[in-house]
């Protein structure tokens, strides 16, 4: 959608449990001056006596985005819950409609209200939404003494959430369910996950969780280098020490996309995504059994949104979004693989190859002589018993090549 020389025609108004009374004068004026008002049935009932065109949100929500283009230039108002930019409709609209065409007026967010009710500081809390998302998406946030604010999917979320925490070793965690916050029907109830007995309540609820892990719970750190034993694998697994060094070399940051080529068990891409919920990865693995293991590992380790491509590289790479980092764990000798990866890698990104065979080293030595980059030899030995004594058992040596793609020099554009 183009926004050239277009005045704001769309307003997005957040409404709390206290209805129209809680709105600012600017928000009330925006609603009153609109020709078309779109919202849920609960929101539209607040203005049932108006002469405006009332439209109920379609399902699925992406139909609304397509329909809005028909109303361009006509004063249109969308009524939302709370803060539209906090996992709300505003976050969806902003992908296709310029902010220059919109006016967004938020109400109090569920995060702000929940923190005020429980007495938690915003900066010490992780905010998670389970609207249409798997419970595994909270797993990377689990740690001793952590504090979570969870936006529920429906009235069954608190019960299912308590069960999920028990299965993850966090059954001693304390949950507080907050319903109808800031409204006349506000209600709260609490309990421990391992002894949760409350029946389902209101569909619109928020859960505050004070995390507590069991004595024998293995705390899965976000730092790279999880124990090898947490990954289901058939032997194709980058060992934890090498894995930690490899992810460090890949230089992850929030919003970055990784291609993990020859992903094996998916350990590299999974640990990349665990570092920050905004890190994204695509695991490319041609073996169907291993691709299935990657999906299982991703679900077990809190990265259910890892994309798995069960096809052969480089032919499978052309239609993928361009990455900020590429890891080649196998297949560097395959014709055209490096060239395709280097072509698709974004400027400023880096490519890391781990090599174990003489043939792969020979190819990389030639590439490194032409393109540069750093070569590092990595060797790990672990203490293991041998009879009544102990020995240092060496693992396969790894040669690691890291190559960064330079930025093209451009002049800053004037706006």
Evaluate whether residue 411 is within a structural domain. no
As a whole number, the mean pLDDT across the chain is: 94
The answer on 90 and 30 residing in a single domain is yes
- In tens, the pLDDT along 108-121 reads 999 999 999 999 99
Examine the pLDDT at 1 and tell me if it is beyond 60.
Answer: no
Evaluate whether residue 3 is within a structural domain. no
Beta bridge partner(s), residue 53:
36
Q: 210, 243, 270: which is the final residue of a domain? A: 210
CA-to-CA dists, residue 290 to 257, 283, 300, angstroms: 21, 11, 15
Phi-psi region of 225 (alpha: psi -120 to 50; beta: other; left: phi over 0): left
- In tens, the pLDDT along 197-215 reads 999 999 999 999 999 998 8
The answer on 204 and 268 residing in a single domain is no
Q: 107, 128, 160: which is the final residue of a domain? A: 107
Reported confidence tier of residue 3, pLDDT bands at 50, 70, 90: very low
Q: Residue 309 is part of which domain span? A: 228-404
Residue 390 burial (C-beta neighbours within 10 Å; 0-12, 13-18, 19+):
exposed
Which sign does the torsion angle of CA 283, 287, 288, 289 carry?
Answer: negative
Region of poorest pLDDT, from 56-70, 295-309, 370-384 = 56-70
The answer on 355 and 240 residing in a single domain is yes
Query: Residue 73 and residue 26: Cα distance in Å, rounded?
Result: 20
Beta bridge partner(s), residue 36:
53, 76
The answer on 362 and 262 residing in a single domain is yes
Evaluate whether residue 302 is within a structural domain. yes
Residue that is written with structure tokens 């094996």 in the block:
264
Region of poorest pLDDT, from 54-63, 152-161, 175-184, 382-391 = 54-63
What pLDDT is recorded for position 359? 95
- In tens, the pLDDT along 162-194 reads 999 999 999 999 999 999 999 999 999 999 999
Q: 87, 107, 127: which is the final residue of a domain? A: 107
The answer on 286 and 201 residing in a single domain is no
Q: What's this model's pTM, rounded to 2 decimal places?
A: 0.90
> What is the domain-level CATH number for residue 344?
3.40.50.150
The answer on 97 and 21 residing in a single domain is yes
What pLDDT is recorded for position 57? 87
> What is the domain-level CATH number for residue 138?
3.30.950.10
Evaluate whether residue 388 is within a structural domain. yes
> What is the domain-level CATH number for residue 96?
3.40.1010.10
The answer on 262 and 292 residing in a single domain is yes
263 phi/psi in degrees, rounded to 5: -70, -20
The answer on 325 and 271 residing in a single domain is yes
Examine the pLDDT at 415 and tell me if it is beyond 50.
Answer: no
The answer on 159 and 91 residing in a single domain is no
Residue that is written with structure tokens 């925490």 in the block:
165
- In tens, the pLDDT along 386-401 reads 999 999 999 999 999 9
What pLDDT is recorded for position 151? 98
Examine the pLDDT at 351 and tell me if it is beyond 50.
Answer: yes
The answer on 298 and 200 residing in a single domain is no
Evaluate whether residue 339 is within a structural domain. yes
Evaluate whether residue 185 is within a structural domain. yes
The answer on 177 and 141 residing in a single domain is yes
What pLDDT is recorded for position 58? 84
Examine the pLDDT at 4 and tell me if it is beyond 90.
Answer: no
What pLDDT is recorded for position 124? 97
Domain count for the chain? 3
Query: Residue 126 and residue 150: Cα distance in Å, rounded?
Result: 8
Examine the pLDDT at 40 and tell me if it is beyond 70.
Answer: yes
The answer on 364 and 291 residing in a single domain is yes
Examine the pLDDT at 287 and tell me if it is beyond 60.
Answer: yes
What pLDDT is recorded for position 234? 93
Evaluate whether residue 320 is within a structural domain. yes
Evaluate whether residue 2 is within a structural domain. no
Task: Give the sheet arrangement for strand 257-261, strand by strand.
Answer: 307-309, 280-284, 257-261, 325-328, 350-355, 398-404, 374-378
């Amino acid at each position: 959608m183009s926004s050239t020389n277009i005045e704001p025609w769309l307003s997005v108004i957040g409404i709390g449990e206290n209805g129209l009374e809680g709105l600012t004068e600017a928000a009330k004026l925006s609603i009153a001056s609109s020709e078309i008002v779109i919202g849920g049935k609960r929101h539209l009932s607040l203005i049932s006596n108006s002469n405006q065109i009332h439209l109920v949100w379609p399902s699925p929500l992406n139909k609304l985005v397509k329909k809005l283009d028909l109303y361009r230039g006509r004063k249109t108002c969308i009524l939302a819950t709370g803060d539209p930019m906090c996992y709300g409709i505003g976050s969806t609209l902003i992908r296709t409609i310029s902010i220059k065409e919109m006016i967004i007026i938020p109400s109090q967010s569920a995060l702000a209200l929940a923190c005020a009710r429980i007495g938690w500081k915003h900066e010490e809390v992780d905010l998670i939404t389970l609207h249409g998302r798997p419970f595994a998406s909270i797993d990377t946030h689990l740690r001793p003494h952590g504090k979570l604010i969870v936006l529920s999917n429906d009235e069954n979320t608190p019960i299912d959430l308590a069960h999920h925490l028990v299965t993850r070793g966090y059954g001693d965690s304390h949950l507080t369910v907050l319903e109808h916050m800031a409204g006349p029907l506000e209600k709260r109830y609490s309990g421990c996950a391992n002894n949760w007995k409350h029946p389902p309540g209101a569909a619109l609820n928020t859960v505050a969780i004070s995390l507590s892990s069991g004595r024998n719970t293995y705390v899965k750190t976000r730092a790279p280098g999880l124990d090898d034993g947490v990954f289901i694998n058939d032997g194709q697994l980058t060992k934890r020490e090498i894995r930690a060094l490899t992810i460090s070399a890949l230089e992850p940051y929030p919003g970055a996309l990784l291609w993990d080529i020859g992903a094996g068990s998916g350990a590299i891409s999974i640990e990349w995504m665990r570092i920050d919920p905004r890190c994204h990865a695509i695991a490319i693995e041609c073996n169907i059994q291993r691709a299935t293991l990657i999906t299982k590992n991703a679900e077990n380790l809190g990265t259910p949104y890892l994309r798995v491509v069960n096809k052969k590289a480089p032919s499978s790479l052309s239609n993928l979004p361009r990455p900020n980092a590429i890891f080649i764990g196998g297949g560097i000798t395959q014709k055209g693989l490096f060239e395709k990866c280097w072509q698709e890698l974004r400027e400023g990104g880096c490519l890391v190859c781990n090599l174990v065979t003489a043939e792969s080293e020979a190819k990389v030595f030639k590439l490194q002589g032409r393109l540069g980059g750093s070569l590092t030899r990595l060797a790990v030995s672990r203490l293991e018993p041998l009879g009544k004594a102990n020995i240092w058992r060496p693992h396969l040596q790894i040669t690691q090549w890291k190559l960064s793609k330079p930025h093209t020099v451009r002049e800053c554009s004037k706006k």
